[in-house]
Structure 1
Amino acid sequence: MSGTTVVILIVLALVALAVISARGRAANRQKDLDDAKADARRWVERLGGQVMNLTGTDLASQQAIADAAERYTAAGSQMEQATTTEQCRLVTKTALEGLYYIRAARTAMGIDPGPELPVDHEAQRAGKVTEDRRVSVEGHDYEASPVPGQRTPHYYPGGRVAGRPVPQGWYSEPWWKPALVAGAWGVGSVLLFSMMFSGMAGIAGAAAWESGYDAGQEDAIGDQGDAGGDYGGDSGGGDYGGGDWGGGDIGGGFDF
């Protein structure tokens, strides 16, 4: 066998190995995608079954079911367009959020909330409402509670909205929704958050929240140079104490 023939055979063998390897990787990717689609579809179908068969008995449960139905519609639309494993994971996340609303609705009705759901670590880091709060901001009343009620019928399962953590709990109104729709928080949001959650265990302070940090990450603010110092100085008796917050920029109302 000539040297040229040997070289040709080696090249052909390498090409064959490359083709087999590429086909193997493609098959693995397709299997991962099929598995991700099946998992996402399972959660969407589970959510759909609950949305179709559960009827709220009070304002809180009815609102939670309505929110779950919104997630079901969104997850179904995402499922139709999903072509990658990452997109399938987003479908699963949306469906699971809907199922958290279903659990909240069932809890509000006083019935078994159903089997436990996978832990949402983002929601855990956001904290949760641990006590009843009622605050008035520029003449508008807001309430938060760890339990549903006629005055707090709006549930949020916890998580991040427009880069900032929103604690799990029941609220008098969905104060986070404008940021969810717009993708950014209005100028009055920090004051509202500060008044609503100040001193509540497991929830970030207002300065940390404004910077997008979760509870326990306040020390990270010190790494931002003058940010921590400026905030501390202003809050002591400057803009925060009686200037812009007290009756200046915020005085004209809130743009959440």
Structure 2
Amino acid sequence: MTALIVIAIAAAVIVVAVWWSRRTEAAHRAKQLEDAKADARRWVERLGGQVLNLVGTNEAAKQALADAAERHTAAVSQLEQADTAEKAKLTTDSALEGLYYARAARLAMDMDPGPDLPDVNGRSRAGKVTEHREVEVEGERQVASPEPSEATPHYYPGGQVAGRPVPEGWYSQPWWKPALVAGAWGVGTFMLTSALLGGMTGVPAAAAGGDPAGGDAGGGDPGGDGGDPGDGGDAGDGGDFDFDFDLGF
């Protein structure tokens, strides 16, 4: 009988301990979610104020504000649906990205950009456009510049897109958007970034094109030994077509 009592008491202690642990863990998660949502809400409201009060006076500012408004809409939706601290953090990231667009719009209108913003989405590691560059890729003119202009009305704050860095800067076209939607880079975009950003100071090698397959696109000897059709010797080495760019990952 005594043994049964001891076993019953031990079982009760274990049940209570498990219940208390789960309750404590749930309370901790709830507190984390509450804090994360409060932080996200602060940034979302700040972005909303910028979107509401700023009016673009030139094409670059208008485009940047349109992108800021898009991020605000996304952040509001994310905040409403956030049920974990991780999801609330994604809301903060969306709002901060929107604030970078609003900040760019202010700069495009020669206004005070306001206080610095926290880094988001690997922005500081993505580099930035440091010189005006104009190229033609597949018959289309592409321009990148550190400053806004009529030729470069599309701003990107810098960060990771589909696993690759896109430098902060102003561009003639938002060439990174298809990768945002598809989650992967097209071969044409690698050609574009290589021509537009390759060798630019302040831009990491991974941002300047490279082999989309991540390997050697032809590092072998495509020419090979042409054989000996009449003891003509070696027909010549076709050269080493090495397109193995450093992706920087």
Q: TM (normalized to structure 2)?
A: 0.82
- Whether the aligned pair in 1 keeps the contact of 2:217 and 2:242 (CA below 8 Å) is no
Aligned to 2:113: 113
- Whether the aligned pair in 1 keeps the contact of 2:165 and 2:206 (CA below 8 Å) is no
Give the CA deviation at 1:237: 7.5
- Whether the aligned pair in 1 keeps the contact of 2:222 and 2:240 (CA below 8 Å) is yes
Aligned to 2:168: 168
User: Aligned pair in 2 of structure 1 residues 207, 194: CA closer, same or farther (>3 Å)?
Assistant: same
Equivalent residue letter for 2:17: L
Give the CA deviation at 1:67: 0.5
Identity across matched positions, percent? 58
Give the CA deviation at 1:4: 2.5
Give the CA deviation at 1:202: 2.9
Aligned counterparts of 1:231 and 1:140: Cα–Cα separation in 2: 32
Equivalent of 2:219 in 220, 230, 235: 230
Aligned residues: 228
- Whether the aligned pair in 1 keeps the contact of 2:196 and 2:208 (CA below 8 Å) is no
Higher helix share: 1
Aligned counterparts of 1:116 and 1:4: Cα–Cα separation in 2: 67
Equivalent residue letter for 1:176: W
Deviations 1:73-118 (A, max 9, x none): 1111111211111111111111110000011111111111111111
Aligned to 1:199: 199
Aligned counterparts of 2:106 and 2:175: Cα–Cα separation in 1: 23
Deviations 1:175-213 (A, max 9, x none): 11222223332221122111111210232337974458x
User: Aligned pair in 2 of structure 1 residues 72, 130: CA closer, same or farther (>3 Å)?
Assistant: same
1:30 and 2:39 are equivalent in the alignment: no
- Whether the aligned pair in 2 keeps the contact of 1:44 and 1:76 (CA below 8 Å) is yes
Equivalent residue letter for 1:230: G
- Whether the aligned pair in 1 keeps the contact of 2:159 and 2:167 (CA below 8 Å) is yes
Which has the greater radius of gyration? 2
Aligned counterparts of 2:187 and 2:115: Cα–Cα separation in 1: 40
Equivalent residue letter for 1:19: W
Find the residue that maps to 1:71 and give its secondary structure.
helix
Aligned counterparts of 1:231 and 1:190: Cα–Cα separation in 2: 21
- Whether the aligned pair in 2 keeps the contact of 1:207 and 1:231 (CA below 8 Å) is no
Aligned counterparts of 2:72 and 2:95: Cα–Cα separation in 1: 6
Unmatched segments (≥5 aa) in structure 1: 213-220, 241-256
Aligned counterparts of 1:142 and 1:232: Cα–Cα separation in 2: 34
Aligned counterparts of 1:3 and 1:238: Cα–Cα separation in 2: 81
Aligned to 1:10: 10
Aligned to 2:126: 126
User: Aligned pair in 2 of structure 1 residues 121, 206: CA closer, same or farther (>3 Å)?
Assistant: closer
- Whether the aligned pair in 1 keeps the contact of 2:158 and 2:165 (CA below 8 Å) is yes
Counterparts of 1:209-228 in structure 2, within 5 Å, are: 209-210=209-210, 227=216
Find the residue that maps to 1:230 and give its secondary structure.
coil
Q: TM (normalized to structure 1)?
A: 0.80
Aligned counterparts of 2:57 and 2:66: Cα–Cα separation in 1: 13
Equivalent residue letter for 2:136: S
Aligned counterparts of 2:52 and 2:157: Cα–Cα separation in 1: 21
Aligned to 2:73: 73
Deviates more, 1:96-105 or 1:17-26: 17-26
- Whether the aligned pair in 2 keeps the contact of 1:63 and 1:154 (CA below 8 Å) is yes
Aligned to 2:140: 140
Aligned to 1:42: 42
- Whether the aligned pair in 2 keeps the contact of 1:151 and 1:172 (CA below 8 Å) is yes
The runs of 4+ residues in structure 1 deviating greater than 6 Å are 231-234
Give the CA deviation at 1:28: 0.5
